[in-house]
Amino acid sequence: MSIVFSDLRSKIGSRLSGFSGPARLAIIAISVVIVAIVLLWLFNQLFYYLLAKSYAEELSQAYNLNKGFTKALVWASFAAIVLFAGCTFSFSKHKRNFGYVGILGLLIGHSVLLGMRDANYDGDGKTQKCYVLTRDGIKILNHVGVDPDTGRECKLLTPQMTEKYNAYRNGKRPLIVTDTNPAFFDPVSGEPIIWFAKTDAGRVELFDLMGFHPQTGEELKPVDKPSVDEWRRQSSKVVRRMPNRVPDPDKYGFFDALSGNPKVWFWVSEASEYEFFDGPGFHPTSGDEFKVITREKIAAWRQSVEVAAQRKKKEQEQQAQEARDRQAQELAAKQAAQDAKNIAERQATEELQKQQQAGLDCDRLAANPTDIRRKAEGATFDVLRGHADQAIEVCSKAVQQSPSELRYQYQLGRAYQFKDRRKAFDIFVTLVRAEYPAAFDNLGGMYLGKDNEKAVQLFLRGRDLDDADSMVSLGDMIDKGTYPTDNPLAMKLALLKRAADLGHAGAQRAFPLELAKAQQAQSNQETQRQMLEIFGQIVAGAIRR
């Protein structure tokens, strides 16, 4: 660097050596003036820049601006200062006035912006304000000392006190400290965070907030070492014993009638249920320390009791309503079951009536008058022929409704004999297998002329089952010679007699006639025998003669 300046100085000296002495002096003077002007301009700009930077930094700290906004504010302030300062050196009066007004506006605006930012602390964390406790609230001042209005000391509004101040301003008031080992001072700043007051009896009472004593109205004081020591000595004199449960604190009394001191401690469960005791101690279940009662806690307890009572009442009402609903549902279910039962019984009755009606109609239209299992007078073949279709319809319903009743099947088979003999045959075969007496005569009758031996077998089985029609049919076969027997007349008379006794109308009419015929035939035989005997005697006498 020195070599460069030496070369520059030698070059300047060599060039100035060509001028005369006065000229050289003039050039040097002009050069010095130019350099001085440049240095003055640079110093002026540097001053403007530093001024703008200080303004921007103050605003940045006040409004917590980031670096980008801070730099932009620096250059904007620098440009404004340069502009207004340049105008103050103008030859124009208007521009000079503009420059003065601009600089004045920058100063005032900067101060207003800083004033609008009502911060409690400066950039170094030092408090900017103090507070004074009054009867109406808390008064904030911007300087430490004595409040001229109240004469009270204005105490520093530290970060710890700011939290208390905000709580007091939001309506919180001092409460008695129930903790048996509270923290008296802030562990960071060492400031007192508990306030105290002395009763007339000299007892120290601790409170968790600045304010006034709720009974005496005296201003609470922040604790100091002497007051803390006195409170501890006072607490150490309390006799430690096992606290007893207080079932009804209203009857026991929350406060001593003479001193006004609390004589009840409490514990609150997670379910907000209160338990009261007659002394300090710890809960045997949770290990939580009991707290001394206060008027605020009494109010909270009463409110919780009221809420619990309302909740219990609501639960009881809900349970009663649920019981009523259940009873109504049970009654509705019983009624529905009874209705269903009634409907089922009615349907069953209607179904039974339908069955009975179909059965009654089947008995009335198609029963065999000689069927020993009939339930009605029935209809003869000639009568049944005239309403066979109707008989088939009702007997089909009766069979469908009562498939186990063979009587309806038999009567349906009788009706089908006029419309569908194949169906009738199948029905009678089934009934014969089931040993239904009247079916043997009907099926035997369908075998007559085709298989007389099979017909005789069926008639004989029907006779054994006391079927009158089978007996009459056997008698007819004896008459026609298709059923040979040793004593046809006696057999026929026996069959007709049995059928007549069973109520067979045809047998009842035929038996007397057949009996008369038999007797007449027997009488004729006896006369013929007597005549033969006389004729024999005559012949024998003649021979003898």
List the one residue out of 256, 301, 308 whose CA is nearest residue 274.
301
Read off the pLDDT of each residue in 522-537 and give the average, rounded to a whole number.
52
| pLDDT tens digits, 485-499 | 888 888 888 888 888
Read off the pLDDT of each residue in 397-413 and give the average, rounded to a whole number.
91
pLDDT band at 59 (very low <50, low <70, confident <90, very high): low
8 A C-beta contact, residue 27 and residue 35? no
pLDDT higher than threshold 80 for residue 65: no
For every residue of 423-478, DSSP letters joined together read: HHHHHHHHHHHTT-HHHHHHHHHHHTTT-HHHHHHHHHHHHHTT-HHHHHHHHHHH
Q: Residue 31 and residue 308: Cα distance in Å, rounded? A: 98
Please give the single-letter amino acid code of residue 531: M
What average pLDDT does the structure give for the chain? 77
8 A C-beta contact, residue 85 and residue 77? no
pLDDT value at residue 178: 66
8 A C-beta contact, residue 337 and residue 345? no
pLDDT higher than threshold 80 for residue 509: yes
pLDDT value at residue 185: 81
Read off the pLDDT of each residue in 389-399 and give the average, rounded to a whole number.
92
Question: What is the strand order of the sheet 221-222 is part of?
Answer: 204-207, 195-198, 221-222
pLDDT higher than threshold 90 for residue 518: no
List the one residue out of 273, 302, 300, 299 whose CA is nearest residue 285.
273
| pLDDT tens digits, 77-134 | 767 776 776 676 667 777 777 776 877 776 777 666 655 655 555 555 555 677 766 6
| pLDDT tens digits, 154-205 | 776 676 666 776 777 777 778 877 667 788 887 766 778 788 888 777 778 8
pLDDT band at 67 (very low <50, low <70, confident <90, very high): low
pLDDT value at residue 435: 93
pLDDT band at 66 (very low <50, low <70, confident <90, very high): low
Bridging pattern class, strands 153-156 and 221-222: unpaired
- The residues, ordered by sequence, that sit 6+ positions from 499 with a Cβ below 8 Å of its Cβ are 468, 469, 471, 472, 475, 506, 507, 511
The answer to which of 141-145, 237-241, 527-531 has the lowest mean pLDDT is 527-531
For residues 403 and 537, the model is more confident at 403
| Lookup result for tokens 């186990």 | 404
List the one residue out of 60, 84, 62 whose CA is nearest residue 72.
60
Q: pLDDT > 90: what percent of the chain?
A: 12
Q: Residue 169 and residue 17: Cα distance in Å, rounded? A: 85
Q: What is the 3-state secondary structure (H, E, C) of 54-113?
A: HHHHHHHHHHCCCHHHHHHHHHHHHHHHHHHHHHHCCCCHHHHHHHHHHHHHHHHHHHHH
Distances, alpha carbon 36 to alpha carbons 31, 288, 430, in Å: 9, 82, 148
pLDDT value at residue 127: 59
For residues 164 and 244, the model is more confident at 244
The answer to which of 43-57, 209-223, 261-275 has the lowest mean pLDDT is 43-57
| pLDDT tens digits, 421-461 | 999 999 999 999 999 998 999 998 899 888 888 988 998 99
8 A C-beta contact, residue 116 and residue 105? no
Strand runs labelled E in 232-366:
245-246, 265-268, 274-277, 291-292
List the one residue out of 168, 179, 184 whose CA is nearest residue 219.
168
Please give the single-letter amino acid code of residue 293: I
Distances, alpha carbon 111 to alpha carbons 51, 55, 83, 385, 452, in Å: 14, 9, 20, 132, 145
Highest mean pLDDT among 110-114, 257-261, 294-298, 415-419: 415-419
| Residue 203 DSSP SS3 | coil
pLDDT band at 62 (very low <50, low <70, confident <90, very high): low
Q: Residue 471 and residue 157: Cα distance in Å, rounded? A: 135
| pLDDT tens digits, 468-482 | 888 888 888 888 888
φ, ψ of residue 514 to 5 degrees: the values are -65, -35
- Per the structure block, which two tokens stand in for 521? 């035939």
Read off the pLDDT of each residue in 221-227 and give the average, rounded to a whole number.
84
CA pseudo-torsion sign 516, 521, 522, 528:
positive
pLDDT higher than threshold 70 for residue 38: yes
Bridging pattern class, strands 274-277 and 221-222: unpaired
pLDDT value at residue 8: 60
